[in-house]
Amino acid sequence: RHDVSDFLMYLLTKIKFEISSEKVFFDSNGYHNYKDACEAYEAINNTIVDNLFVGMYENEIKCNACRKITKNYEDFLNILLECDRSDPQAAFIKFCEIEKSSSSY
């Protein structure tokens, strides 16, 4: 399964860069919300691969000491989920849970 997934990611990435007029990488720094990050990504990455296969997720980190929240946005072609075939809905809910850090920084 992993070989097929790896090949698909390689193929999509290769196609995307072959048909792109410019080789520009998305820098997620400086965007304060999901909509702005998506619009900025789409402005520089507008291939058929992007339109059909690329998604974007928001990663939010909250400092336990000062309560400052930092958001980062990353594009992805796939999300690898390990799930119990008997209960895929529970696996999806677990994937979407907020992670709590035990560190004190």
> In which region does residue 67 sit, left (phi positive, over 0), alpha (psi from -120 to 50) or beta (all else)?
left
Residues in the chain: 105
pLDDT tens for 56-101 read 888 888 888 898 888 888 888 877 666 667 787 887 787 777 666 6
Residue 54: what pLDDT? 86
Give the pLDDT confidence of 12-48 residue by residue, as tens digits.
Answer: 888 888 887 666 667 767 777 888 888 888 887 788 8
Distances (CA, A) of 48 to 13, 17, 21, 34: 11, 11, 13, 21
Look over the chain and give the mean of its residue pLDDT values, rounded to a whole number: 79
C-beta atoms surrounding 28 within 10 Å: 16
pTM for this entry: 0.56
Q: Please, which residues have CB within 8 angstroms of residue 5's CB and are 6 or more apart in sequence?
A: 78, 80
